Structure 1
Amino acid sequence: MSSLQVAFLLGIILLVAFLVGWWLFSTFLATKEEFSRVYPISAYVDARGNFLICVLNAGPHDFYGRWLVSTKSGRSVEIVLNAPVGVITTVRGSLGEEFVPGTSPTLILVTGGGRGYTLNPIVVVDISAVKC
Structure 2
Amino acid sequence: MKLNKIHHVAIICSDYQKSKDFYVNILGLKIISETYREERKSYKLNLLIGKEEEIELFSFPNPPKRPSYPEARGLRHLAFEVDDIEIIVKELNSKEIDTEPIRKDEITGKRFTFFNDPDNLPIELYEK
Tell whether the structures are fold-level matches, with TM greater than 0.5.
Answer: no
- More helix per residue: 1 or 2? 1
Q: TM-score, normalised by structure 1?
A: 0.26
Q: TM-score, normalised by structure 2?
A: 0.26
